[in-house]
Amino acid sequence: MALKIAAWNVNSILARLPTALKVFEDVGADIWCLQEIKCEDPRFPRLEFEAMGYNVETFGQKSYNGVAILSKYRIEEFTRGIPGLEHEHSRYIEAVIAAPGGPVRVASIYAPNGNPIGTEKFQFKLQFMEALRTHLQSLLPLEERFVIAGDYNVIPRDVDCVDPRTWVTDALFQSETRAAYRALQNIGLTDAYMQADGAAHKYTFWDYQAGAWQRDNGIRIDHLLLSPQAADALENVDIYKKARSMEKASDHVPIIGTFAD
C-alpha cells in the first residue's frame, strides 16, 4: 500500500476553499502539508476537511503565514514551531502520523521569503534555515521516516527557473540561501524531486503578475526533504500543475511524494 504525502502553499485557505477541496479530491493524498493558510486556528475550515476523512492540526496566524497538517491517519503528537527558534510567525508544524506501515513524522514548513536582501528579513531567513538544520539533525539518530514538506522559498539550481539573470537580486536565489538548502542535504537528507526526477524547468510556483503562468515563467521552490528511511521508500514525485489553471488558483501547486508503506 502506497502512502501519498503532498505539500501545497494554498495562499489563503478561506479565499480558495472550493478550489482546495477540488484539489484534495483530485490528488487523493493521505497526508497534506499546507502553507500560508492565512487564518487563525478557530477560522480554519476544519469541518469541510474532516468530512473528507482528514484529521486536522493547524498553527495559524491572522492574515499571514500559517501552516497545517491534514492526515487520513491518526495524528499521535504534534509540535508548533521549530524548537529553539523564537519568533512570532506561524511557519512550522510537525506531527507523527500513525500510518499503516508504521509511524511517519511529517512537517509543514513555510520558510521566510527574505526580501529585500541586506535587511533583517534576509538574516531571519538564514537564521530560520539554520535552526531547521539543527533540529532535523537531532531527529536523524531516531532512524525514522520523516518528510519535511513545503515552501522553502529557495530556488536550488539555475535550471529551477526560466532565466537566472532575473533572480540575481532576489533572496530566493542568493548564494547564502542555496548554501543553506544544501546544508540540509549535507546532514543526510534527500530532495525527493531530485531523487525521483530532477528534470530541469519543472516548477511549483508562477507569479500572478506579467503573464507568468501563461508563459510558463515559473520557479521550483516547494520541496520535500526526506530522511534516509523515507528516501529508501520513495516511489515517485508528481507536481500537480493543473491546480494553477483552476478558478481562484493559488500561485503555487502541490508537490506529491508517493512512498511504499
Catalytic residue annotation: 110, 151, 252
Q: What is the dihedral of CA 38, 223, 124, 176, to 10 degrees?
A: -150
Measured CA to CA, the distance from residue 83 to residue 105 in angstroms comes to: 15
| Residues 38 and 65: beta-carbon distance below 8 Å | yes
The answer to the question of whether 252 is labelled as a binding residue is yes
| Residues 87 and 130: beta-carbon distance below 8 Å | no
Q: Which residue has the cell 514548513?
A: 109
Is the four-CA dihedral 38, 41, 47, 50 of positive or negative sign? Answer: positive
* Residue of 256, 230, 187 whose CA lies nearest to 32: 256
The answer to the question of whether 251 is labelled as a binding residue is yes
Measured CA to CA, the distance from residue 84 to residue 82 in angstroms comes to: 6
Measured CA to CA, the distance from residue 176 to residue 167 in angstroms comes to: 14
| Residues 221 and 167: beta-carbon distance below 8 Å | no
The answer to the question of whether 87 is labelled as a binding residue is no
The answer to the question of whether 223 is labelled as a binding residue is no
The answer to the question of whether 41 is labelled as a binding residue is no
The answer to the question of whether 151 is labelled as a binding residue is yes
Binding-site members are 9, 36, 151, 153, 251-252
Binding-site members for Mg(2+) are 9, 36, 151, 153, 251-252
